[in-house]
Structure formats: structure tokens, C-alpha cells
């Protein structure tokens, strides 16, 4: 269970807070979707939950344990918007093992299988994959680290209709094993599979029933 209590983010350089007293609970093996327009604070919230920025107020808990940014860096996996722009491995194998040279081929195979890419050769270049395959690979890169919560920033942005559908189906399958939090301005087919939905506007989160 991920639990956010009164999270605010108001860096000194900004006139208004970017996030205002956000409360959120996301149970294990659930898919949560936060919907909001551009500039509403979605990416900032994920950066805080991934331990890449620190809230100026409030607390984040996993079950009853309070988490520091360092804990969050270890517990959370984040798939950034357009993750394929940040690929730097020459092969799929290299991409999945970046920073984790200890990972064996079995773990790499397992991660690829989870995202339905196990039919590809390890030696394939990430740059030669289709847009939809690249998004799946970016997911595998995070899943191989076994995150407690997997967060995705605009996961379907820029995909064609059929790849969007496939990605939504994949997320629906992944939530049987993982806890997922998606932020997006365009939820589309994800809404079918969401267990909880929130709206965010100007840094204020409201639950959608």
C-alpha cells in the first residue's frame, strides 16, 4: 500500500505551490490513474514519488513505514515520458543490464517475457524496435529491478491506436503482479482497467468515483 499524506511542493522560486496537500492511497496490485492537463503537476508528483525531488511538506508511506527520497529511489520504478529517447544500450541485453551487470540471462528473459518481447533476440538494437516495442522494453528495464511501485508518465503518448491498445492490455496484465501508477492527460483505454482514478488541476488532486 502506497500512501501519500498532505504532499505539497512549493520550491522557493515559484509564486504558487506546484502541488497542494495531495492525499492518495494505492493498494497492492492495483492500477491507479491520475488525469490532468499539461502543467497540472503530474510529472512533478512522479518525480517526488521516485525520490528524484523532495516534497516541501507531507509524508510518503509504504504500508506503515515512512519513506525518504533514498528509500523511494530503491522502491519505485519510473518510466519517463518518451523513455525510448533515453535508451543507451547497443542491444536489448545491454539496455536491461545497465547498472545491473549481476543480472543473469534468466532474469533478462523473465523481464522480456513479462512485457511480451521474449521472441526477440538479445542482440537486437533497441533503436530497431517499433514504437510499441520500445515502450515495452522501457517497462522491462524497470520491472527487472522488481520495484514495489511502477510509475509511468504519459505511457501511451505518441503511440498509434493499435500500440496504445496493446500497451493498455499489457498494463492490465501487469497489475496482477505489480502496483502501477500512471499519470496522463489522455487516459483513453486505460480507464477500462483502472482501479482508482484521480483528477489533478493546478496541483490539486481530487478522487474520481
CB 53 within 8 A of CB 70: no
* CB 122 to ligand ADP: min, Å: 34
- 135 touches, from ligand ADP, Mg ion, none (C-beta below 5 to 8 Å by class): none
C-alpha cell at 82: 518518451
Query: Which CB, 63 or 85, lies closer to Mg ion?
Result: 85
Residue 35, CA distances (Å) to 80, 153, 204 in order? 16, 11, 11
What is the footprint of Mg ion within residues 38-57 (CB under 5 A)?
A: 42-43
Interaxial angle between packed helices 161-174 and 131-143, expressed in degrees from 0 to 180 and rounded to the nearest 10: 20
Query: Which CB, 19 or 75, lies closer to ligand ADP?
Result: 19
Q: What Rg do the C-alpha atoms of the chain give, in angstroms?
A: 17
Three-state DSSP state, 103? coil
Strands 179-184, 149-153: parallel, antiparallel or unpaired by DSSP? parallel
* CB 38 to ligand ADP: min, Å: 4
Distance separating alpha carbons of residues 69 and 14, to the nearest angstrom:
22
Size of the site for Mg ion (CB under 5 A): 2
Query: Which CB, 42 or 175, lies closer to Mg ion?
Result: 42
* CB 85 to Mg ion: min, Å: 14
CB 87 within 8 A of CB 128: no
Binding site for ligand ADP (CB under 6 A): 11, 13-14, 18, 36, 38-44
- 16 touches, from Mg ion, ligand ADP, none (C-beta below 5 to 8 Å by class): none
- 14 touches, from ligand ADP, Mg ion, none (C-beta below 5 to 8 Å by class): ligand ADP
* CB 17 to ligand ADP: min, Å: 9
Residues within the interface to Mg ion (CB under 5 A): 42-43
Amino acid at each position: 500500500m502506497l500512501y501519500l499524506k498532505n504532499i505539497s511542493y512549493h520550491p522557493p522560486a515559484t509564486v504558487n505551490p506546484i502541488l497542494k496537500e495531495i492525499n492518495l492511497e494505492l493498494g497492492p496490485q492495483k492500477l491507479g490513474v491520475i488525469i490532468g492537463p499539461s502543467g497540472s503537476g503530474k510529472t512533478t508528483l512522479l518525480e517526488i514519488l521516485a525520490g528524484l525531488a523532495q516534497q516541501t511538506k507531507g509524508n510518503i508511506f509504504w504500508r506503515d513505514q515512512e519513506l525518504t527520497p533514498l528509500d523511494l529511489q530503491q522502491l519505485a520504478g519510473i518510466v519517463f515520458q518518451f523513455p525510448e529517447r533515453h535508451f543507451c544500450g547497443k542491444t536489448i541485453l545491454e539496455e536491461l543490464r545497465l547498472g545491473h551487470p549481476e543480472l543473469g540471462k534468466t532474469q533478462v528473459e523473465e523481464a522480456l517475457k513479462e512485457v511480451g518481447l521474449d521472441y526477440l533476440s538479445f542482440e537486437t538494437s533497441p533503436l530497431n524496435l517499433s514504437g510499441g516495442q520500445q515502450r515495452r522494453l522501457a517497462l522491462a528495464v524497470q520491472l527487472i529491478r522488481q520495484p514495489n511501485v511502477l510509475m509511468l508518465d504519459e505511457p501511451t503518448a505518441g503511440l498509434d491506436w493499435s500500440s496504445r491498445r496493446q500497451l493498455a492490455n499489457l498494463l492490465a496484465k501487469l497489475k496482477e503482479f505489480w502496483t502501477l501508477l500512471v499519470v496522463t492527460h489522455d487516459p483513453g483505454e486505460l480507464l477500462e482497467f483502472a482501479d482508482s482514478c484521480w483528477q489533478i488541476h493546478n496541483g490539486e488532486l481530487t478522487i474520481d468515483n
